[in-house]
């Protein structure tokens, strides 16, 4: 008697679980970043109210902002593209803060890091995968009418690759404008107003850039499987 052939394993549940883990990790990183922005700002104003100088309060809040990234790095002992970016930015903020200089320089440290990030986005336009692609895939791949298997589409469809490269340029230019605004704030506003406004600027720029890029994705018909965006090319 012939034994029935074994059913082929369905790889989709495994892929779905991996996507779910990646999505939860991206959300967790986003929450950590938000907390890493809000908590040091709150700490700065608490220390100022306690009588510490502007410089000492800024230094303490910067060290506090770097601690979560260091703890995560020490606990997980592995770094992927997304966590590497945030860890580098946190450590960069700490290094800039330890450079001797005036209070205004310390107030402008975020402008330096934001400018570096903007250049990173622009430089990554011709990388194997742009930074925007790496950030967005764990959150949207296969969700909210976005296609699945982004890597497969990337390899096959020039339009899909072009969409992410244009998006990276948008984010790079937007972050350079953000950096310029931070320099202006650091050198023209009263010191105690800068940390709060700088944190608010992060939220405003993030919302504006997300709205602009998602409007662009919609114009590219990324939610339409018949879109020329997914047409195979050379």
pLDDT in tens, 13-72: 544 555 555 556 556 656 666 666 678 888 999 999 999 988 888 888 877 777 766 666
Q: What is the mean pLDDT of the segment spanning 147-154?
A: 94
Q: What is the dihedral of CA 221, 145, 165, 169, to 10 degrees?
A: 90
Mean pLDDT value of segment 142-169: 94
Angle value at C-alpha 104, between 54 and 31, nearest 5 degrees = 70
| pLDDT value for 68 | 66
- Which of 6-10, 65-69, 76-80 reaches the highest mean pLDDT? 65-69
* pTM higher than 0.85: no
Model confidence at 86, pLDDT cuts 50, 70, 90, reads low
Could you tell me which residue, 134 or 4, shows the higher pLDDT?
Answer: 134
Residue 27 confidence (pLDDT)? 61
Helices of type H across 77-193: 81-97, 103-107, 109-123, 131-140, 150-156, 158-188
Give the closest residue to 151 by CA, choosing from 126, 170, 133: 133
Under the banding of pLDDT at 50, 70 and 90, the label for residue 217 is: very high
Q: What is the distance between the alpha carbons of residues 167 and 203, in angstroms, rounded to a whole number?
A: 19
């Amino acid at each position: 008697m012939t034994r029935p052939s074994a059913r082929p394993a369905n790889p989709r549940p495994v892929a779905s679980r991996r996507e779910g883990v990646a999505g939860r990790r991206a959300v967790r990183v986003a929450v950590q970043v938000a907390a890493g922005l809000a908590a040091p700002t709150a700490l700065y104003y608490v220390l100022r109210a306690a009588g510490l100088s502007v410089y000492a309060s800024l230094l303490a809040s910067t060290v506090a902002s770097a601690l979560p990234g260091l703890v995560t790095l020490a606990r997980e002992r592995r770094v992927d593209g997304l966590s590497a970016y945030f860890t580098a930015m946190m450590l960069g903020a700490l290094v800039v803060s330890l450079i001797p200089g005036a209070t205004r320089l310390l107030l402008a440290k975020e402008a330096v890091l934001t400018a570096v990030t903007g250049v990173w986005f622009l430089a990554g336009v011709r990388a194997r995968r742009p930074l925007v692609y790496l950030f967005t895939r764990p959150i949207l791949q296969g969700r909210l009418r976005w296609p699945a298997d982004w890597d497969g589409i990337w390899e096959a469809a020039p339009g899909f690759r072009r969409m992410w490269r244009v998006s990276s340029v948008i984010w790079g230019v937007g972050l350079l404008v953000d950096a310029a605004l931070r320099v202006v704030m650091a050198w023209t506003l009263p010191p105690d107003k800068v940390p709060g406004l700088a944190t608010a600027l992060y939220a405003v720029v993030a919302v504006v850039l997300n709205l602009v890029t998602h409007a662009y994705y919609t114009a590219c018909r990324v939610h339409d499987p018949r879109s020329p965006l997914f047409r195979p090319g050379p």
